[in-house]
Amino acid sequence: MEARAASGTVLRLAPLRNDAPALVIQWPGAALHGAVALELSGGGAPTASLLLDTVDWSPGAPFEADGTLTLSNWRADNASIATNELIVAIAIAPEGSGRIDFRGPARITGPIGEGEVRDMVAALDLAVTWRPGWRVTPNGCTQMQLGGLDVAGFSFGSGAFALCPLNGALIAADASQNLSGGFSIRSLGLNGRMAGPEAQPARLGAQNVVGQFRGRTGDMTLLLEAQTPSLEIDMGEERTLAIALQSATADARIYGGTWRVDGAFRSGTLNDPSLPGSVSTITGEWEAAPQGSGEGPIIQVRSGEALLTAHEPATENERTLFNPMRLTDVTAIVRDGDINARGDIALADGRRQLAGFTAFHDISEGAGNTRILATNIVFDGTLQPYHITERARGMVENVQGAASMVADVPWTNDALTAAGTMSTTGVSFATATMPIIQDVRGSIYFDDLFNLTTPPGQSATVGLLNPGLAARNGRLRFQLLSEQRLTIEQADFDFAGGTLAMAPTTIT
């Protein structure tokens, strides 16, 4: 027997065995039994073959059948499901309740946002029951084998994990279509690589991932919570970038043909030996939603905060590069493989705001840049340079006046650098050898902000220099060297009706 649809889809029913009919009705009693082969193909429908070894029914008794299901070419929106001789058992009671058991492997491939899960094989051993409402109940944990996962600029290779039900059901709905059930994944660990030509090794893990279904059919919510999620990337010899969180949540809602996700992250850390410091107490909220037809999602981070702490100096004679600082009011947008972020930088002690920043990162290239802009830092009795960096302690004291700074911090997969320009408009200060230095004006370009060095030829003017005798209207040309050394290339002042000049020298 064969049925054809206008789309070209064909459904065929035939005897499973050549020596027996497909179905036999016994009379009287109207009992039904047989062995049937059902095949579906064509017209864009999946290619399916359901071979029922036994089919039994009689009045007042359940309809029962068992056999195997082979499924291929089931595709929708770049997703596919395939099975090969999946064992199927069907039992439907006269009042309409029923049960279908599945046992065997099912292969799943499909998109995840801008990424993709490839060849994920689920070793099914579960039952779908209804009476009314319905439940999907596995026999223990479902073993999952992952062929590949591409997401957020990473490609993770093969990995295995167990999908365990919560309260007995992976997902369920009552007679009113209210959803329940869920799952947990313990000791998740995936190995892979970053995207791009360098393809650095990466590891993704979590102690436990829990998912819970809520809402109703047609307006479903899946609440996900990951405990201690972590990501490690081997950036090079003796350099591992590590990101860890105490917890991360995602509240995903699927409704009306669209979706959105709202979540949060808590108590995170970021460590990279190439960075001048570590990032801790990372907290914030995030959301994701589709960008448009055929486009990837937009992910937004808001209300983000983090603590920046400088690495300990290599020797006891060195001082920390900067005092603890806090990133506040951080917002970020992830769109089309790019991250754009902005926020403020404040001293952790007292939370005095110092600067704002904008940042860009290309996920696939692993490269980006941060611009830090401090438009008006006013030094007074409550704020001194040593409050920002201990390396300024003892170099300058009693700083009074305003300064501004623009810094650029570019990075690639292999390197991180920092350069910037600091400008003053009338700053006064003192040093151990020069008690009075007033009205300093100029712009200094730092070619290495981590080591506080400059190219030659930096210039500034000094209104008053008084080591005991006053010299005015100074004009300086200099260079800052590593290890807190200063090279005076040229210096002259108005003094006693003439000019006081300083011979070129290096001060340590």
**Do residues 64 and 183 both lie within one domain?**
no
pLDDT at 63 over 60: yes
Residue 114 has a pLDDT of 64
- Condensed to tens digits (0 to 9), the pLDDT of residues 359-381 reads 998 877 778 899 999 999 999 98
Residue 499 lies in a domain: no
Domain final residue, candidates 310, 343, 361 = 361
Residue 464 has a pLDDT of 95
User: From the centroid of its chain, how far is CA 118?
Assistant: 20
pLDDT at 386 over 70: yes
Q: What are phi and psi of 385, to 5 degrees?
A: -55, -35
| CA pseudo-torsion sign 227, 228, 234, 235 | positive
Residue 507 lies in a domain: no
Residue 374 has a pLDDT of 95
* Of 144, 149, 153, 226, nearest in space to 191 by CA: 149
- Condensed to tens digits (0 to 9), the pLDDT of residues 407-427 reads 999 988 777 889 999 999 999
**Do residues 343 and 384 both lie within one domain?**
no
Residue 296 has a pLDDT of 66
pLDDT at 294 over 60: no
User: From the centroid of its chain, how far is CA 21?
Assistant: 58
pLDDT at 295 over 70: no
**Do residues 297 and 233 both lie within one domain?**
no
Residue 281 lies in a domain: no
**Do residues 237 and 294 both lie within one domain?**
no
Residue 321 has a pLDDT of 80
Residue 78 lies in a domain: yes
SS3 per-residue string spanning 27-46: CCCCEEEEEEEEEEECCCCC
Residue 61 lies in a domain: yes
Give the Å distances, CA to CA, from 260 to 89, 171, 184, 223, 300. Answer: 37, 20, 22, 12, 11
User: From the centroid of its chain, how far is CA 52?
Assistant: 46
Number of domains the chain contains? 4
Residue 470 has a pLDDT of 92
Residue 423 has a pLDDT of 96
Residue 362 has a pLDDT of 84
How sure is the predictor about 344, in pLDDT bands with cuts at 50, 70 and 90? Answer: very high
d(CA 235, CA 230) in angstroms, rounded, equals 16
Domain final residue, candidates 96, 126, 143 = 96
Residue 13 has a pLDDT of 83
Residue 479 lies in a domain: no
CB 405 within 8 A of CB 419: no
Residue 293 has a pLDDT of 61
Residue 315 has a pLDDT of 81
Residue 326 has a pLDDT of 93
d(CA 166, CA 71) in angstroms, rounded, equals 29
Rounded (5°) CA angle 255-259-261: 125
CB 236 within 8 A of CB 248: no
Q: Which residues contact 215 (CB under 8 A, 6 or more apart)?
A: 178, 179, 221, 253, 255
**Do residues 126 and 144 both lie within one domain?**
yes
* Of 374, 321, 330, nearest in space to 352 by CA: 374
Domain final residue, candidates 242, 273, 304 = 273
**Do residues 157 and 261 both lie within one domain?**
yes
- DSSP one-letter string for 95-155: TS-EEEEEEEEEEEEEEETTEEEEEEEEEEEEEEEESSSEEEEESSPEEEEESEEEETTEE
How sure is the predictor about 228, in pLDDT bands with cuts at 50, 70 and 90? Answer: very high
Mean pLDDT computed over 258-280: 86
CB 243 within 8 A of CB 231: yes
Which tokens belong to 2? 């064969």
Count of other CB atoms within 10 angstroms of residue 295: 11
- DSSP one-letter string for 199-247: --EEEEEEEEEEEEEEEETTEEEEEEEEES-EEEEEEETTEEEEEE-SE
pLDDT at 1 over 70: yes
What's this model's pTM, rounded to 2 decimal places? 0.76
Element (H, E) at 506: strand 505-507
* Of 490, 497, 489, 458, nearest in space to 474 by CA: 490
**Do residues 353 and 380 both lie within one domain?**
no
Host domain of residue 53: 1-96
**Do residues 85 and 129 both lie within one domain?**
no
Q: pLDDT over 90 for what percent of the chain? A: 48
d(CA 327, CA 346) in angstroms, rounded, equals 7
**Do residues 435 and 410 both lie within one domain?**
yes
**Do residues 391 and 355 both lie within one domain?**
no
Which tokens belong to 336? 């089309």
**Do residues 252 and 333 both lie within one domain?**
no
Mean pLDDT computed over 401-405: 95
**Do residues 62 and 130 both lie within one domain?**
no
pLDDT at 287 over 60: yes
pLDDT at 49 over 60: yes
- Condensed to tens digits (0 to 9), the pLDDT of residues 456-482 reads 999 999 999 998 889 999 999 999 998
Q: What are phi and psi of 390, to 5 degrees?
A: -65, -20
User: From the centroid of its chain, how far is CA 152?
Assistant: 7
Residue 113 has a pLDDT of 62
Residue 2 lies in a domain: yes
Residue 274 has a pLDDT of 73
CB 452 within 8 A of CB 472: no
Q: Mean pLDDT score of the chain, rounded to an integer?
A: 88
Residue 16 has a pLDDT of 82
Residue 480 lies in a domain: no
More confidently predicted of 345 and 451: 345
Residue 38 has a pLDDT of 86
